[in-house]
Amino acid sequence: MIKFIDLFAGIGGIRLPFDELGYHCVFSSEWDKSASITYKANFGDEPAGDITRIAAETIPRHDLLLAGFPCQTFSIMGKRQGFLDTRGTMFFEIARIIDYHHPSIILLENVKQLTTHDKGRTFETILQVLDKQGYHLKWRVLNALDFGLPQKRERVIIVGFLDKCECDAFNFDFPKKKYDLSKILERDEDVDKTLFASERIIEKRVANTQGKKLFYPSIWHENKAGNISVLDHACALRTGASYNYLLVNGVRRPSSRELLRLQGFPDSFKIVVPYGEIRKQTGNSVAIPMIRAVAGKIDLIIKSKRQWNTQSCVTEVNCTQTNLI
């Protein structure tokens, strides 16, 4: 059984696809109390708290490390302080644990802006640290829209392997899947009435969309400048955005279930915290179908390695020429 750990776990968006594959989570950490409540309700595990207070030697041995480390410091909406911001140093907590355990595979997730922060120097530092720890790396900016979710959410995914042959066998080539907003939305009559915008807000939205093509279903997005876009998908869910920055059909905010669906969580996922916390938790979470696609390729490589029972690139079949690519 493949063992993994789930760092900066949030509500388990990165974990879920690996649970589906039958992998075994031996440790998780999450400092936010409300997110931990959601995590425990859905996975049965109560995450350890602040990772900075956890000694690496107390973490169980594992084959795979997962981490969606704090991203606000690198994002468009943040102040872009990078490693000057305490949250930016959370990567080095990951590096500390990797340095002690050296798991065979690592998977890291962050905002697209990480790749360009400080003219690319921050990202280059991260790659250099992982390279010095012995990892062969591949990375790509992926968009949730390409994985069947009606949400424009671009994230950088970094995958690292200690085995170069395994890294050579991995790629980020995925077929694009169509998304359908109608499959995400609930009926208005089933949505809490407190989520409907006031008449003043609705009138303002209508006034700001004069001359624009309106269609339904749609999500109306208001940017910082007050401009309104009418879209067949949501813009990226955000933790600190105005309550009205996304309005379904221009009249109401997305429900808790809709927010979870926009990240790819199944309807069986339990909602055990208030709406405001779900907004925060989904804004901090990941697009599950995106992670599921990456997890599937990692799983193929692991299974191929077991099939050929080798640690070397010199095998009966050259791994870079198999159907893993």
Strands 3-7 and 64-67: parallel
Active site residue 167: no
SS3 of 38-107: HHHHHHCCCCECCHHHCCHHHCCCCCEEEECCCCCCCCCCCCCCHHHCHHHHHHHHHHHHHHHHCCCEEE
Between strands 219-222 and 246-248, the pairing is antiparallel
Given a contact cutoff of 8 angstroms between Cβ atoms, the answer to whether 26 and 5 are in contact is yes
Catalytic choice (71, 165, 167, 319): 71
Contacts 24+ apart (CB under 8 A), 113-122: 113/74, 113/75, 113/76, 113/80, 114/71, 114/74, 114/156, 115/139, 115/141, 115/156, 117/74, 117/80, 117/82, 118/82, 122/74, 122/82, 122/83, 122/88
Contact (CB, 8 A) for 12 and 5: no
Rounded Cα–Cα distance for residues 30 and 111 (Å): 18
> Can you give the C-alpha Rg of the chain in angstroms?
21
HSE toward the beta carbon, residue 257, CA cutoff 13 A = 13
CA–CA separation, 325 vs 317, rounded Å?
Answer: 13
Q: Peptide bond preceding 217: is omega within 30 degrees of 0, i.e. cis? A: yes
Classify burial at 206, counting beta carbons within 10 Å of its beta carbon; exposed 0-12, middle 13-18, buried 19 or more.
middle
Which residues are tagged catalytic? Answer: 71
